[in-house]
Structure 1
Amino acid sequence: MNTALQRPDETLDEGERQFLNVIKDHGWFHTRVFDGKDEHPDFSYTTGFSVNHGYPEIILFSLSKDVSHSILWDIWREIEAGTRPEAGTRVHGIFGNADAVLLPVAKSSYEEHLGWNRWFYGNDDFDCLQLVWPDRDGRFPWESGFDDKFADSQPDLTGGGWKFHPA
């Protein structure tokens, strides 16, 4: 897989070099995006999961920087240990006692949300999963009774209407 890791150092700016050095040293990079506007939730995503483990990158919304980073590290370690959370199924343990679901992100969402990944991979030819968390009652956004006050906390990146319903 051709990535920015193969680019000559002299063609990179300082920010790009730092980004790549973290991936070289730790295997992946945690990008945190905070819009600062109430209408768009903050989010975090990985770069390096795909190139180093053949597992899709992950994006998640509306969790603090520290919580997001910890969750993504835990998933990285699971993948390194040979456990690969399956897309479209309920995954236990990611959020303590609450389930999570990983859903494929539509390519139409890449430009708005995955800028560093698009730069790193040189295109949109990589997979990404959205890590979706439930409301306090364990319901997901596509389930009846999901608490509406969380509706804007996790935008649907599946391509519309949470169309990929997990089993």
Structure 2
Amino acid sequence: MFTALDAPTERLDKHEQNFVEKIRNHGWFGTHVMPDSEGPGFIYTTGFWLKFGFPEVILFSMRQQTAQDTFWTIYRELEAGRRPPIGEPTDAVFQNVAAVFLPVSLRQYPNYLGWSRWFYGNDEFECLHLVYPDRDGHFPWAAEASAEARAAQPDLTDGNWQGLRKVS
């Protein structure tokens, strides 16, 4: 698989060189996007797909350091040969709550995964949205979830949380 790691250094600007070096040195890089008027902040990985054949991961509305620590936890699990389940709750990521990995729709890639798309040179990589429950234990697709909790983690699946929430 050809990636930006294979590009001649002189063809990359200093930001691209830094990005590539982080992946070369650590196996992955986390891109942090600040919240704005269009939506909540988020952070996503680049490098999991190349190193482990495991989808990149995107996480919303979490402090940058906490998200980075979460990604390192996932990285270490993958390095140990343990892959979290997709589409069902798992306690392999967070200590106090379950989380669910859901496939990110390709139509969401341009809006959220710019650096990963640049790194791979296309959209031929997978990405998972790591979703966590609100303080009351409700995932965003649950009827009991607050509007605030839903706004904090937008649905990046093919719609309606990939069938997790019943249509009213």
TM-score range for the pair, normalised by the shorter chain length: over 0.9
Q: Which residue of 2 aligns with 1:141?
A: 140
Distance 1:22 1:159 in 2: 31
Is 2:141–2:150's contact at 8 Å kept on the other side of the alignment? Answer: no
> Aligned residues, how many?
165
Task: String of CA shifts for 1:27-48, please: whole Å, max 9, x gaps.
Answer: 00010001433x4100000000
Q: What secondary structure, in the 3-state scheme, does the structure 2 residue paired with 1:124 have?
A: coil
1:10 matched residue in structure 2: 10
Structure 2: which 5+ runs fail to align? none
Q: Verify: 1:61 aligned to 2:60, yes or no.
A: yes
Q: Whole-Å Cα distance in 1 between the matches of residues 36 and 156 of structure 2?
A: 20
| Aligned-CA RMSD value | 1.3
3-state DSSP class of the match of 2:81? coil
Contact 1:88 1:165 in 2 (8 A): no
Which whole-Å CA distance do the structure 2 matches of 1:165 and 1:149 have between them? 19
Call closer, same or farther: CA 1:111–1:159 in 2, change over 3 Å.
same
**Helix, strand or coil at the partner of 1:96:** coil
1:25 aligns with 2:20: no
Moved more, 131-140 or 50-59: 131-140
Measured at CA, do residues 33 and 122 of structure 1 come closer, stay the same or move farther in structure 2, by a change above 3 Å? same
User: Which protein has the bigger strand share?
Assistant: 1
The one-letter code matched in structure 2 to 1:91 is: T
TM-score, with structure 2 as normaliser: 0.94
2:120 paired residue number: 121
Return structure 1 stretches of 4+ with deviation > 6 angstroms.
none
Q: Does the 8 Å contact 2:31/2:45 carry over to 1?
A: yes
CA distance in 2 between partners of 1:164 and 1:53 (Å): 28
Deviation track 1:10-53 (CA, whole Å, cap 9, x = no partner) reads 1111110100000000000010001433x410000000000001
Aligned-pair distance for 1:164?
Answer: 4.3
Secondary structure class of the residue paired with 1:162: helix
Q: 1:91 and 1:153 mapped to 2: Cα distance?
A: 20
2:46 is aligned with 1:50 = no
Judge conservation of contact 1:103–1:158 (CA < 8 Å) in 2. yes
**Which deviates the most, 139-148 or 124-133?**
139-148
Partner of 1:162: 161
CA contact (8 A) 2:84 2:90 kept: yes
Match of 1:106 in 2: 105
Partners of 2:60 and 2:152 within 8 A in 1: yes
Say whether residues 1:74 and 2:50 are aligned partners.
no
